[in-house]
Chains A and B, each alone.
Chain A
Amino acid sequence: MASAIFKSSLTKKFWMALTGIFLISFLVVHCAINATIFFNDGGKTFNVWAHFMGTNIIIRTMEIVLFAGLLLHVIDGLILYFQNRKARPVKYAYEKSSASSTWYSRSMALLGTLILLFLILHMYHFWFKTRITHLDVTNHVMMIDGLEYENLYAQMQLVFSNLIVVIVYVLGCISLFWHLLHGFKSAFQSLGFNHLKYKNAIAFVGDAFSVIIPAIFAAMPLAFYLKFIQ
């Protein structure tokens, strides 16, 4: 399997694009569900959805696929990074890169690493605490319509009461913004979609997506910290 994935420069590119698009689709779901905190209903809607995501068999299976996809994206990215450095061993004494490309398109590996570091912290805050150990909060159950729900919302409130954490999360979202700004369009180009008819549409959707999704994500820790939502 590994040989089929990493067979050539182009197969590596296809897998980068496919896993990228898959991760993008995950972002949509994750963002939509988390955005229910903005209902400001004390976390009722959010906790119900979080419970669904944590118990539904299809979702749990997709969680494994998601990890696999992320891992593949990271490994493929690292392989590309090191191979590409080898392909350009000697640096120019004077290189005017900004004349022909954007800094973020040249810095996908760096941005990806920042996002990965953020993800490790993020997973520790939430995924690890709900799936492996237990929530840090004392009010870890919420009663909704007579049923017990794990109070992930309270965990969010707790985590985002720390200013440093909030700043790190916002920085993570900013890295994601730059990564997506190149990655979204890039994925479609890699898969060969770039007909004049929809090239501009993809670029537009890509730019809009890169701004909107990270902005909504960044608004979450900020809203908790600034007590816009209780």
Chain B
Amino acid sequence: MNLTLKVWRQKSTSEQGKLVEYKVSEISEDMSFLEMMDVLNYKLIESGDDPVAFDHDCREGICGMCSMFINGEAHGPNRGVTTCQLHMRSFKDGDTIYIEPWRSAAFPVIKDLMVDRSAFDRVQQAGGFISVNTSGRTLDANAIPVPKEDADKSFDAATCIGCGACVATCPNGSAMLFVSAKVSQYALLPQGQVERKERVLNMVKKMDEEGFGNCSNIGACEVQCPKNISLDNIARMNREYLMASIKPEN
């Protein structure tokens, strides 16, 4: 099929960007969206132009690197998939496709469609970890009993791949879905109890410092999240934070 692409081109963080129109032809519907982008880039390279910079790594929906705002939606029109899992059969011959980078003050554009998501790393470093004894007598995680329901919820939260689609989609540029998934994943497990209170306090503090917006329960993040992370996690984080603020010591 033949497509018209309107791609955001921006040379660097400090320079102004704009949408540039490209035509691509002979796109197979079996191609993934990123493969279609590869076709465009080959074409650009052959004609001596600068290829479109975009993030990608695993191309199978697990690394969270790919990040495109496609036709007004994070990771495109399909639900529960990342951009790399989106296939061209979701589009029609002759379609015009808008491709833009994540928009958020906390995610500055590095180049074209690449944004700097290190703010997520810093939030994670502020508390998204557990202390484990490495003295040689490390407790086997499988030997610690965890109620099935908690294990399931924790696992669901842990499937967050840190892609940032939640922030990109949120009209408030809020990172609550991501942060709440990280908080929940540990709060539900025995291993996460030691830092439970300081974790939520520190991660929320860092989240605010990084310039993410405030959640107003619009709920768009949950809809656009490629891993279907639930808003229940945000409610859990709200509870965790409330408890930790009222009684900070364990």
A interface, CB within 8 angstroms of B: 8-14, 16, 80, 83-84, 86-97, 99-101, 105-106, 108, 182, 185-186, 189-194
Q: A83-B213, A189-B231 are in contact. Are A93 and B73 (CB under 8 A)?
A: no
B171/A88 in contact, CB under 8 A = yes
Can you offer 14 A-B residue contacts whose CB atoms are under 8 A?
A: A9-B208, A13-B214, A13-B215, A84-B174, A87-B106, A88-B170, A89-B105, A92-B69, A92-B72, A100-B73, A100-B219, A101-B219, A189-B234, A192-B235
Alpha-carbon distance between A87 and B105 when the two chains are bound, in angstroms: 5
Chain B residue contacts of A89, Cβ below 8 A: 105
A189 to B174, CA, bound (A): 16
Task: Knowing A13-B215, A101-B218, say if A87 contacts B72 (CB, 8 Å).
Answer: no
Residues from chain A with a CB closer than 8 A to the CB of B231 are 189, 194
Per-position contact with A for B53-79: 1 when CB-CB < 8 Å, else 0? 000000000000000010111000100
* Cα-based distance from A194 to B214 in the complex (angstroms): 19
Minimum Cβ distance to chain B for residue A188 (Å):
8
B212 & A99 in contact (Cβ 8 Å cutoff): no
Q: B181 at the A/B interface (Cβ < 8 Å)?
A: no
Q: Tell me whether A88 and B216 are in contact (CB under 8 A).
A: no
State A192–B105 Cα separation when bound (angstroms).
Answer: 27
Q: Which B residues have a C-beta under 8 Å from some C-beta of A?
A: 6, 8, 19, 69, 71-73, 77, 98, 100, 103-106, 169-174, 176, 204-205, 207-208, 211-220, 223-224, 231-232, 234-239, 241-242, 245
Given contacts A87-B213, A105-B219, contact A94 B98 (CB under 8 A): yes
User: In whole angstroms, how far apart are the Cα atoms of A91 and B171 in the complex?
Assistant: 9
Closest-CB distance, A167 to chain B (whole angstroms): 30
Residue in chain B with minimal CB distance to A10: B241
* A84 neighbours in B (Cβ, 8 Å): 171-174, 213-214, 216
